[in-house]
Structure 1
Amino acid sequence: MQYIRKDSSRKRLPPISILIGKPRLTTVLVIGAVAVTFLILYLTRSSSNASLLCYDSSDVPFTEADALIAAEFEKTPSPLVAILHYVTSPVTPQLSLAEARGPFDILLSLAPCNFLIFGSGHDSLMWDSFNPHGTTLFLEEDPKWLRSILRRFPVLDVRIMRYGTRLSDADALLSSYKEDCWGANVTVRLKGNEGCKLALNNMPEEVYSKDWDIILIDGPRGYEASLPGRMAVIYSAAVMARGRKKPGVTHVFVHDVDRKVERTYAKEFLCLKYKVSEVGRLWHFVIPPAINFDDHGFC
């Protein structure tokens, strides 16, 4: 599988300690203060720039300000530089303020942590900058959009992801997965599982080797029949969460649940009994690991 990523040989410096060099408690307090500032900024801009929430990279020219901020973030990947970006950028993140607050609060409480995001967008810099010392990995299916994001922020770790599904197959996949993915003598797994069309078996090795503390599903695209849809992502996120090996739970956020596929698949695999909140078009699930995952299923 081909992918594009940042230079992993460059050791990332702790964002806040660069500025103040204080103990962890002070760092946490400063990050919290910066987070509040960021949310205030987000609130004041989200309504006025709503018309600029877009996915087409051709709508967003790469400006001189973008180049300067990208260079500064490459040197010092801090939340303060992220705020500078959103001050100068004509666009705002795809999630509304209310929707973003959920994963934002969880991220601040767990960071540094392992944060896996399906899709990339105008909010990618935000998520990455508020996870100092952690792993924030984006899986993106649109090469054009990926190039646009990395041109602005080469510090981000964004990989190309290929999907073998189509939104038009959603109903058929849902009716056949128990036989193909969950039948007799079938071990529930993702890596190397070519028999289950819902199993993402071509992700980067790092995805399989880590336990992810937060998974945000905001991609791939799923608004037309020919597009991949998010069926395999939701299924695979459920498998990863239930197969977690280290202590703790997995927070899974699913965006665009106003659409039938996202809503139906989230209910089937992430389970309503694990849903803890619903804000706008975002559902939040807190999923515990399963000791005998193969025997007990999802819900």
Structure 2
Amino acid sequence: MSAFLTVGHRDWPSYLLSLRPKPTISGPTTPIQLQAILHYATSKVTPQQSLQEITKSFNVLRSCKSPCNFLVFGLGYDSLMWASFNPNGPTLFLEETPEWVTTVLKDAPWLNAKTVSYRTRLKEADRLLASYRHVPDCLPGKAFLKGNRECRLALENLPDEVYEREWDVIMIDAPRGYFPDAPGRMAAIYSAAMMARARKRVGNTHVFLHDVDRKVEREFAKEFLCLKFKVGGVGRLWHFEIPPNNSTSSTKFCD
């Protein structure tokens, strides 16, 4: 962000201007950053997260060694902002509603967004949390994602790009989780934990979870992302830094 906020900064909304850090990044402005400047300078729509919440993720993305692989559960008014924070690396958005993907990409066709389906419903959250331990393919020592039909918490039918890449930063701000028949974020949280544990590259995986004021997000984060890996939080956002763990004998996520 600091690479391009000095360009046309008088036209930026004060909400985004206040994000400006001391300039520490040099290099040419990228097309996605210019698109972000144009979009937010001419729009009254502000991102869904607060300034303090956005700043947490921004600082991690800024410190990430290029290229940074950034996976975002959700597509919205802030997607162009997130992509512009990671101009030299791939940013992939996963969205549950095909119609919404079409709507967003109509105005921002350069974003990489895919539609995904979920097998869970929010009203099942308590039962899924209590029963997953009895499903061998859900346990960390044996679990996997792609093609895992036995574990309903596993996102088994994502685009191949998700499975083929190791993600440095994962943002969970979707799917919907505020009414009983919504998919809820149970599977997204579980699958993010699985991706982080399976990492083979050097370093840990940063996972940001939004809306932790809600019970399901909190309880599933405690179970799968683990409070011992929680390194920060502000507002409704928790930040986890999860190390790789490829042990085949593990039966718990938070041993």
- 1:232 pairs with 2:202: no
Q: Match of 1:164?
A: 119
2:4 match: secondary structure: helix
Q: For the Cα contact (< 8 Å) 1:107–1:130, is it kept in 2?
A: yes
Name the structure with the higher helix share.
1
Question: How far 1:81 sits from its partner (Å)?
Answer: 2.6
Question: How far 1:170 sits from its partner (Å)?
Answer: 0.1
**Counterparts of 1:82 and 1:188, CA distance in 2:** 39
Q: Match of 1:44?
A: 14
Q: Match of 1:139?
A: 94
**Counterparts of 2:136 and 2:166, CA distance in 1:** 21
Question: How far 1:106 sits from its partner (Å)?
Answer: 0.8
TM-score (norm 2): 0.87
TM-score (norm 1): 0.75
Displacement over 3 Å in runs of 4+: 35-43, 181-186
Question: How far 1:269 sits from its partner (Å)?
Answer: 0.3
Question: How far 1:145 sits from its partner (Å)?
Answer: 1.4
1:237 match: secondary structure: helix
Relative distance call for 1:81 and 1:273 in structure 2 (3 A) is: same
Cα deviations across residues 119-139 of structure 1 (Å, max 9, x unaligned)?
A: 011111111122223110000
- 1:81 pairs with 2:43: no
Q: What are the equivalent positions in structure 2 for 1:1-299 lying under 5 Å apart?
A: 32-35=2-5, 44-45=14-15, 77-110=31-64, 111-181=66-136, 187-295=142-250, 297-299=252-254
**Counterparts of 1:250 and 1:32, CA distance in 2:** 23
Given residue 83 of structure 1, which amino acid in structure 2 is its aligned partner? I
Q: For the Cα contact (< 8 Å) 1:39–1:97, is it kept in 2?
A: no
Given residue 174 of structure 2, which amino acid in structure 1 is its aligned partner? G
Question: How far 1:146 sits from its partner (Å)?
Answer: 1.0
**Counterparts of 1:112 and 1:81, CA distance in 2:** 20
Aligned CA RMSD, in angstroms, stands at 2.4
Relative distance call for 1:114 and 1:181 in structure 2 (3 A) is: farther
Q: For the Cα contact (< 8 Å) 2:189–2:225, is it kept in 1?
A: yes
1:216 match: secondary structure: strand
Relative distance call for 1:190 and 1:40 in structure 2 (3 A) is: farther
Q: Percent identity?
A: 55
Question: How far 1:180 sits from its partner (Å)?
Answer: 1.4
Unmatched 5+ stretches in structure 1: 1-30, 47-75
Q: Who wins on radius of gyration, i.e. which is larger?
A: 1
Unmatched 5+ stretches in structure 2: 17-29
Question: How far 1:78 sits from its partner (Å)?
Answer: 3.2
**Counterparts of 1:41 and 1:248, CA distance in 2:** 38
Given residue 79 of structure 1, which amino acid in structure 2 is its aligned partner? Q
Given residue 252 of structure 2, which amino acid in structure 1 is its aligned partner? G
Q: For the Cα contact (< 8 Å) 2:15–2:51, is it kept in 1?
A: no
Given residue 33 of structure 2, which amino acid in structure 1 is its aligned partner? P
Question: How far 1:296 sits from its partner (Å)?
Answer: 5.3
Question: How far 1:278 sits from its partner (Å)?
Answer: 1.1
2:232 match: secondary structure: strand
Relative distance call for 1:183 and 1:267 in structure 2 (3 A) is: closer
Given residue 38 of structure 2, which amino acid in structure 1 is its aligned partner? L
Given residue 232 of structure 2, which amino acid in structure 1 is its aligned partner? S
Q: For the Cα contact (< 8 Å) 2:229–2:242, is it kept in 1?
A: yes
